[in-house]
Structure formats: structure tokens, C-alpha cells
Structure 1
Amino acid sequence: MAGVLTEKLIARHVYSSLEAASCPLVEGLYLQEADSMLQLLCSPSQHRTDILAWICSSISPNFTSSKAMSVRSKEPDVLTKDMAVLGQELLLCRASDVDLIRVTGDASPRRQLQFLEQLLTLVPGGVKSAGHAADGELLLKEFFGAESLPHLTQTLSPAFDPWPTPIKALWKNTKSSYKPNREENRDIVALLQVTQSALEQLQSKCVFLNSEAQSPPAFSPSSLRVAASDLQQLMATFSHVYETDLRVYCSRDPPSFSSETEVFQRVQQLLLACNTELEMLKEVSEASESVSEEVKQLQTQPRYWSRAEKHTLPDQLEKVIGRIGGFLSQLSS
């Protein structure tokens, strides 16, 4: 029951924000009941899609370019995806959260209303949400409050005695008993004069030291206020990125490594032996190919001279065999 009441309150706030921003799509509706406002803002309809498109175009003028609108009119899914991408650029949702625009998925009415409320805070002339500005205003009020101003003033213009209390006491005790002589005084005076002349020469070379009194201080309350506001925005951006993208990776358990290294050593040795055998087989195959090529050349290329002509080895062997056969036939006869 409390959730329904909260949704109705948010729906009233979103509807009033649309009226304050002069949205032409809610003019003439004159809705008074919270249920009607909730139905308008959370039920799937073309009217709700037009309201979302108007909000996006008010935030980003490039959203209503003629070329983009012609493509979106032909393909409604393109308009939905473009709205989700704009929400991701504004750090309000992910590009895959199309349920916030279509209202056909797991998105609850409260989430849809919060998405609309966050979008309306970025519309020029709209009513700013109190929840977004509360943290920054509280931080600045606490930082620049009446109770913190003395500390801030002391921080900006510190007045600190560099001598600790023990050294002060020691200096007071030795000051009365110590009496420097004239030679030491002369040396000290000469050293001070040299130091003063060096400082004057350095000051004449540094122009920014001469204009220090005219220029405003580097650390002023206004600049510190701007720095605090920038820091708050950076922290909010990092928190959003951490919640949406980084938390899943940070919550993982660290990997566990096995203490048994003998298995890996054995596997390494077997792999090395396998590589050695493969290299040997490769060399054997290369040698076999070389021998085969050499034998092929002996059989096909003419290399042996006979009667002023080159002949191949098989031809020469046939001739020799023929001569031996003729010689044997003559012997047998």
C-alpha cells in the first residue's frame, strides 16, 4: 500500500513538472486524479512515447534532427533505442534498458516514474528535483556555515609558528646566557646582506611576485566552492559507473592456485620431448624427400656420356645389361 502511495506522489510530481516545463502534450488534459496521471505516465501508449520524445528533444536539440526523425518514423524501435542511448549518455540508465521506454518488460512503475523525474530535472525551465540538489546544498552549507568559517579562514591564511614549544623554551634559556662576539656579528651581518641582495635580485626577475598584491588570492571561497561542486559531480559519476558496471567484477572471488607444481613440470618435460621427436621426424622427412629428389634426377636427367651423347642412368644400365647378355651368349656358343 505504501508503494502505491509513493508511486502516486511521484506521478503527481512528474505531471506538475511537465506542466511547469510547458509541455504541449499535457496542455488541455487537466488531470486531477493521481490514478489518471499514473496511467498516463506508466501505461504503454503513443501519447506517452510522444511525451518521452519531447523531453529528449528538450534536453538534446540534436535529437529532433530531420534525418533522424524520418528514420524513426519508419522504424519505431530506432526511436526507443535512441532514447535509451540518450539516457545512458546522461548516466540515468543503460542502453539496453528499453523497458523504461516501451513499458513492456520488467520495469516497475516506480522505476519508470523515477526515470521520467530524472529526465525532467535536465529540461531547461523545469522544476528541479529536491533529491538531486539536497546533497550538494547540505555539503556546501556545512562547508561554508558560520561554525566552519573560522576554520576555513585559518586554512586559507594560516598563521603558524614554526618553532615547537621545547625549542622555544630552549631558545629562551640560551638567549640570556649566550653573548656573541663582534666577529660573529660581522659574519652574520655580511651573510644577511648577501642574502638580502640575492632576494632583491630574484624578486626583480620574477614579475609575478611584484603583482602579487594586485592579483586575487589563488584560494578563495568561490573557487573552493566550485572545486567542491566538481568533486561532488565526479563522485556521483563514479558511483553510478561502479554500481552499473564495476560492482560485478569487484565482487568476484580471487582465483585459487594449486600448490602441486610437479604436474606442470612433468607436462613441460613431456611437451619438450614431443617437440624433440617432432623435429626429428621433420628432419627425417626432409632427408627422405631430398633422397627421393636425387634418385628422380638420376633416373630422368641425362648425366652419363656414351658415344658423344649424354644418357640417363636407366638407359646406360640397359645398354650394359645388353652387352653382358651378348657376351654371355657368345661364350655359351
Structure 2
Amino acid sequence: MVGALTDKQLVHQVYASLQAASCPLVEGLYLQETDSMLQLLCAPSKLRTDILAWICSSINPNFADSKAMSVRSNDPDVMTKEMAMFGQELMLCRAGDLDLIRGDASPRRQLQFLEQLLTLVPGCQKSAGNRTDGEVLLNELFSAKNLPQLTQMLEPTFDPWPAHIKALSKGSKSSVKPSGKKAVDVAALLQLTQSELEKLQSECDFLNGEAQSPAVFSPNSLRVAAGDLQQLMSTFSHVYETDLRAYCSRDVPTFSTETDVFQRVHQLLLACNTELEMLKEVSEVSASVNKEVNQLQTQPRYWRHGEKRTLPDQLEEITKRIGDFLSQLHS
């Protein structure tokens, strides 16, 4: 949004939009400084008037005929009035905003007006920093100077290892030789590791025994297992006959289908919760009312003779005045 831009950003954007619109009046200008752009776009001058007239003519080609009539006119303000009327037709300004057309308004207002006009110019494109122009991008990409790079990207032939890097790599590989001392240290470390592993394996004899002598089916083992199972079954039969049969012969317990008790309990619990919530709300309201009453009694809120007074003081004053009035009536 234009309103979010600073004056410096806005003047650069308007100038870039003029260049992108191929305005012939700025083609030979290569302004880089912000002050120079402000002088061109916001200071009253014939060049600024011509730029504004060119924008209006680009929006509406019929305005060019009106411009020719204005040049032949003896009134120098006719062109200004016509451009103001044209801006009013576009709902960008009023017919009486002649200071905006002449360049006497604030720079930001002028820049916003120019920015809004430039958005109506057919074919006008903002600078690349604000809007991407696909046609300009393609023309730049397929230009003659960029064709070699484009061809290389489509058919890459670049060797990631140039010749001098390869030579350096080969030289470094051939020059690196293992040191005798380092080789001895590595061998000693490997021997120590092997000894530790053998010691650990010797401490795990049970694992080695299971791995070397897997279980073999034996008739004696089966006879022992069958004898244990028979003894367990005999023990269970005795316990069942003496203790469990009486319980197992009972009928399956039935549950009552009456739910009145649960409904009443549920209702009572809901009522209790509702009552607790009401008590909580009553307590909160009571505390709020108490606080409000205390404020009415302690804080001065009512004006009397140019100063604020509390409610008790005000009531006392009114009671006194009523008493004085009644005593005067009786007298």
C-alpha cells in the first residue's frame, strides 16, 4: 500500500514507474538522488506539467486534442484546469485542486496522485522490486548476452574438479604416507581391544553354553513334566471340590432394571450444583454491591457550591435544607 511507504520509497517508486511506462520525457534522465527526483516530480516546472499531461494523454488519447487546444489558448491556467477536471473524472482529485496540478501541494500528496494516475496507464509496469514483469524477465533471460549461460544451465558440462585441483589432490594422496609410530599405536590399541573382548566373553559362560549346546528332546524330561502336571491337576481338583464348587454352582447374578434411585441421585446432585452456583453468584453480587455502596459513601461524586461531595454529605445538606424550609413554613 502507498500509505505504508515512506516519502523516499514513494518517490523512487513513482520515478521507476515512469521509466517502466517508457515516458519519453524521462528517457534521457538518469536520476539517482532522492532530492533530484523530488525536484522533478513535485516542484512546479514546465517539465513536470508536460509529464503530467503525457500521463493524462496515455490514459485517455482524446486528452491530446484538449492539450493542443490549451496550448493555443491565451489563458495559461486552462491546461491546469483541464487536468484537474480530468482527475475529477477519474475520482482522484477535485476540480478545484489546482495546487495539486501546479505542484504547490505537499510532496506526499503529489506523489500519491501521480502513483494513482500511473496505475491507470495501459501497459505501465512498476519496477522489478514491486511487481514481476514476466515479459521483461523472459526478454532478459533469452537476450543474446545471456544465451551462453542459459545453454550451459540446460546442458551442464562444468567439471567440479578443475585440472589444477585434480593435480593437487593426486599430489596430496601420493605424498601422504602412514607414520610408523602411528601404525604401532593403532596396532597396540587393537590388541588391547581384542583382549578386553575375550575377557568379557569368558565372563559370559552361560551364554556360550546355551549357544554351544542347544536343548535336546529327552523322554526323561517329558516324564518329569507329565508327573508335575498330574500333581498340579490333582491339587486343583481337591481345592475345587472343597472350596470352589459351591460358588460355581450358583446362578448368575441378575442386576435390577430399576433406575429410579440413580435418577433421583442425579437430580439431587444437579440441584446441589445449581444451588452452589447460585450461592457463588449471590456472594459475588453482594461483594460488588458492597463495594459500590462503599464508594458512594466515601468517594465525592456530587457537585455542591463548586466542589464535589460524598453522598452522605449531600443527603445531610438536603435534609438540613428541607428542615429549614419546613420551619419557615410553620413560622
TM-score by length of 1: 0.35
Larger Rg: 2
TM-score by length of 2: 0.36
